[in-house]
Structure formats: structure tokens, C-alpha cells
Chain A
């Protein structure tokens, strides 16, 4: 079995995201809950890493740590060689719910990051009706939402809203893309369709992606590396490289090798569960 902290093989110069002995404890005083045990993780620039594991194992916690939404109790989180939060960086995030703003059209929803994030915000007033508009429309077209820019979120299906949400996460050309189970609430066919779209987006824009998911097939299809986590405290117990060439197809997910890989990961997650029940 490939052992836990495999990324140590990588040289630190390559690491775009690096977690060094990071722990996180929720609560204060006697009532503390260890959410994340000592965790080390390195992600190379432009890589696509999936975090899988039982629910409550701290997968989303890692996302929040890397984006700087929460601070580590101990240890360090580095992004692009600097401690997180030290310097503004461009992060895109897509959640399980599309979280589109219901009072804005799809186009304006997708444009929102350009209004907030530097350096785009400085030219927002000048370019929102020209350059930025074209940029948004091009991205919408790429995910198959051509012509839906003027619709409101409630007029779209769940899958379409999630596509718009992906566009919003990517419009400002983020260095880091955080995906917190963005396909979790969709039906099987829509989900597979969106995997293909996500892969295309990654291949063209090449952001560094961290994907949290429950779906091993999704992790295998999309990611270059799959990190398996166990819970209480959350810890990375396995790090597997997914060898398949790009672009991948959904048929690939039904080959025996792929199935045996997901099977092994599944057993790892199941075997990691008793620890949770004992606690």
C-alpha cells in the first residue's frame, strides 16, 4: 500500500500548496474537538487533487485552511511559497449548493468576482460592459450555457446553476480552485456531464484544484491524485496517483483497473471508519 505522506518525495520548490504539520481544534477550554490531526500535504502547481473520506473527516476543513477562511491551531499553511493570508491571492470556490445570488442574472452572478478581486476590480467600471462581458460570455459558452446569461438562477435547472457556479469560481482566473462537493446534489447523468465539463475547464485554464468529494468514481475521473482521509481526528492515510491519460472518458471509469482502484480506496475508507465509532 502506498503510505501516507508520499508527497515528501516531491521537492518543496514544486509545491504550490503546502500544509506543514497542520492541526485544527474546534472549541475552547475543556470542550475541544480535534477536527484535523497532524497533516502534511503538498500540491504541485496546476495539479488536480481529490480529498475523499467518510463524512466529518475534515475534508472541508482542509479547503477552508487553504483558502484562509479559518486559521490552523498549529502548523503552517503555505500557498505559492507564502503563508496563507499574508498576501491576497485569487481563489475560486464552488460549493455543494450553487449559491448564486437570486437577484442577479447569471451573467452578473458570474461577473461578481471581477467586481471584488484585484486586479480586475480596478477596471470594473470601465470594462464591465465590454471586455469583462465578453470574458463571461466566452466562459458560459464553454460550459454550455450559451444564451442563458440574461436568465435568473431560479429559471435554470440544478445542473445549469452548478455550471454557472463553476464559471463564477473560474472567471477571475484563480490560482487555486476549491471544489467542495460541487456535483454532490446532482443526478448521475448530470453529474457525469459536469465531470467532462470540469475536466475541459481544468485542461484549458490549468488552475491548481483541490476537490472534496464522497464519490470515488468522480475522484478517479477528475483528479491526478487521490488523498484518502480518516476521521477523528482527520488525517490523510493514503495518497494515490491516478495514472490515466487525459482527456479521460466516462467509459474509462468502467474498466477493471479503474474499478479495482476505487475498490481499494473504498476498503481503505471503510476500514478507517471503526475509529469513528469507537470515539
Chain B
């Protein structure tokens, strides 16, 4: 058995063991459903309430993806601007850090004030939360491009745009994808926060209502859905990452493909 397969099996075993332990502890100590429902019960709830949960799942997925899409778009553009020159990087970085360090929960009420409750604040929150890691990483990737690589292009009389396209952007790709994995989970956080505060749809809203009526298994069912969606998107972006930026890891599989 090769070491990689062994590691995968080990991590799968750990995940299963975690839920088994949870189940056993709940049964052993006779913990009430209202405090911590058993995994088996969460699964049952999930299946029984699925028709009710499904539209909310779609809503959350939709707002997350739209917000994340805008986050990527604006993040890459701003990142390219900031990373395009040493000067822009030094000048804009403090302001970026300033914005990035604001707890995004605090701006949800402002969005609600401007746009009313619903999808728009959720999309905007997802956008600003996912935007900053992308901006910072793309800018860093561009700003740390080796000047020697640029010299190669300058000798060939390449234009600024050609240098950006042929050197800067491919060089920044590993940074960009590393930030996407972080950003997509942050987009989920943004959406759920916004749905919890001001929306009548989405998993965040479902969990909010469920917890206020002490329907704890439903709260956990919502958590499971969020976890599954988050992990799925993470996996998708990891896959794209390894296809596009395998050179950075010096992977032999990349070289073969």
C-alpha cells in the first residue's frame, strides 16, 4: 500500500471515528437532544426535513456563489492595481489592511439599511468577505515577481501588458488559488451571517428560527448542509488549483499531464 493511500484512509478513519465517538458519548451520558443531538438523529432530521431545507440550501448556495464571483472579479482587479507597482503596493496596503481588519459582521446592518433585507446584503457580505484575501494575495504575487523574469521580457521589448499577461499573472496564480480556498469559505460565513441577521430565506435563517424554537436537530442539520457545501467548493477549487498551478509545487503528476 503506498503512503499516500494510507494517509487518505487514515484521515477517513479519523472522520468516521469522530462521529462514532460523538454518537457513543451522547448515548452513554444520555445527553438531551436539546443540548447535543446524536449524529444518527441529525441524519434522520436531514432526510425527513429535506423538502423543507432544499430551497434554503439553493438560496444559500446561490448567494454565496454570486457574492464569491463578484469578490473574485473585484479582488483580482484591485489586486492587479495594487500589485502593479511597488509604489501602488506601498501606498494602498495600509488602507487595505484597515478595511480588511473591520469585522464584516458589523457592516451587515449597514447593507440592510441601504438595500433592505434579502439576497442583496447577503451577496454583498459574501463579496467583501471573500474579496480581501484575494486582493492581498494577487497583489503580493504580482509585487514579488522576480525582476530577472521581467528583464527577460524587457529585452524583447515587451509592453507592460505583455509582461503582466506572460509573467505577472501566471506568477501570481498560486497565490490567487491559495486565496480562493480561503475566500470561498469566507463567502459562506458572510452569507450565513447576513441570512441570520436579515433574511427570510437561506440556511442561516432556517438555523436562526430553529434555534429560537429549540429545534436543535434542525440547527445541526443546517450545520451539516453548510459543512458539505463548504467542503465541496473547497475540493473543487483545490482540484482546479492543482491542475493550473502544479508547477509551483513541482508535482510530477503536473509535469505528466
CB distance from B80 to the nearest CB of A (A): 18
Instruction: With A99-B148, A154-B250 as known contacts, state yes or no: A91 contacts B155, CB within 8 Å.
Output: yes
> How distant is the Cα of A101 from the Cα of B171 in the complex, in angstroms?
9
Which one of B57-65, B156-164, B187-195 is at the A interface? B156-164
> How distant is the Cα of A75 from the Cα of B155 in the complex, in angstroms?
21
Name the interface residues of A141-187: CB closer than 8 Å to any CB of B: 151-152, 154-155, 168, 172, 178
- Number of A residues with CB within 8 Å of any CB on chain B: 24
> How distant is the Cα of A172 from the Cα of B152 in the complex, in angstroms?
13
Contacting residues, chain A, for B166 (C-beta < 8 A): 101, 112, 115-116
CB distance from B147 to the nearest CB of A (A): 10
Interface string of A79-95 (1 = CB under 8 A from B): 00000000010011101
Whether, in the assembled complex, B149 has its beta carbon less than 8 Å from a beta carbon of chain A, the answer is yes
Whether, in the assembled complex, A67 has its beta carbon less than 8 Å from a beta carbon of chain B, the answer is yes
CB distance from B139 to the nearest CB of A (A): 19
Whether, in the assembled complex, A274 has its beta carbon less than 8 Å from a beta carbon of chain B, the answer is no
> How distant is the Cα of A101 from the Cα of B146 in the complex, in angstroms?
10
Name the interface residues of B135-188: CB closer than 8 Å to any CB of A: 146, 148-149, 151-158, 162, 166-167, 170-171, 173
Closest chain B residue to A155, Cβ basis: B255
Contacting residues, chain A, for B158 (C-beta < 8 A): 116
How many A-B contacts are there with CB distance less than 8 Å?
A: 57
Name the interface residues of B199-253: CB closer than 8 Å to any CB of A: 245, 247-248, 250
CB distance from B174 to the nearest CB of A (A): 9
Q: Is the CB of A67 within 8 A of B255?
A: no
Q: Is the CB of B156 within 8 A of A113?
A: yes
Contacting residues, chain B, for A69 (C-beta < 8 A): 151, 154-155
> How distant is the Cα of A99 from the Cα of B146 in the complex, in angstroms?
9
Q: Is the CB of A103 within 8 A of B170?
A: yes
> How distant is the Cα of A99 from the Cα of B151 in the complex, in angstroms?
9
> How distant is the Cα of A101 from the Cα of B248 in the complex, in angstroms?
11
Q: Is the CB of B148 within 8 A of A97?
A: yes
Instruction: With A69-B155, A117-B157 as known contacts, state yes or no: A95 contacts B247, CB within 8 Å.
Output: no
Q: Is the CB of B157 within 8 A of A99?
A: no
Contacting residues, chain A, for B173 (C-beta < 8 A): 103
Whether, in the assembled complex, A102 has its beta carbon less than 8 Å from a beta carbon of chain B, the answer is yes
Contacting residues, chain A, for B255 (C-beta < 8 A): 151-152, 155
Contacting residues, chain A, for B156 (C-beta < 8 A): 91, 112-113, 116-117, 172
Q: Is the CB of A101 within 8 A of B149?
A: yes
Contacting residues, chain B, for A155 (C-beta < 8 A): 255
Contacting residues, chain B, for A117 (C-beta < 8 A): 156-157
Contacting residues, chain A, for B149 (C-beta < 8 A): 99, 101
Contacting residues, chain A, for B254 (C-beta < 8 A): 152
Q: Is the CB of B157 within 8 A of A93?
A: no
> How distant is the Cα of A121 from the Cα of B155 in the complex, in angstroms?
15
> How distant is the Cα of A92 from the Cα of B152 in the complex, in angstroms?
9
Q: Is the CB of B154 within 8 A of A103?
A: no
> How distant is the Cα of A99 from the Cα of B158 in the complex, in angstroms?
16
Select the residue from B152, B155, B167 with max chain A CB neighbours within 10 A.
Answer: B155
Contacting residues, chain B, for A115 (C-beta < 8 A): 166
Contacting residues, chain B, for A102 (C-beta < 8 A): 247-248
Name the interface residues of A246-279: CB closer than 8 Å to any CB of B: none
Q: Is the CB of A101 within 8 A of B155?
A: no
> How distant is the Cα of A151 from the Cα of B254 in the complex, in angstroms?
10
Contacting residues, chain B, for A116 (C-beta < 8 A): 153, 156-158, 162, 166
Contacting residues, chain B, for A151 (C-beta < 8 A): 255
Report which A residues bind B (CB closer than 8 A): 67, 69, 88, 91-93, 95, 97, 99, 101-103, 112-113, 115-117, 151-152, 154-155, 168, 172, 178
Instruction: Name 14 interchain pairs, CB-CB below 8 A, sorted by A.
Output: A93-B151, A93-B152, A99-B149, A99-B151, A101-B166, A103-B173, A103-B245, A113-B156, A116-B166, A151-B255, A152-B250, A154-B250, A155-B255, A168-B152
Report which B residues bind A (CB closer than 8 A): 146, 148-149, 151-158, 162, 166-167, 170-171, 173, 245, 247-248, 250, 254-255
Q: Sorted from nearest, which 7 A-B pairs have the closest CB atoms?
A: A93-B155, A103-B247, A116-B156, A99-B148, A103-B170, A116-B158, A154-B250
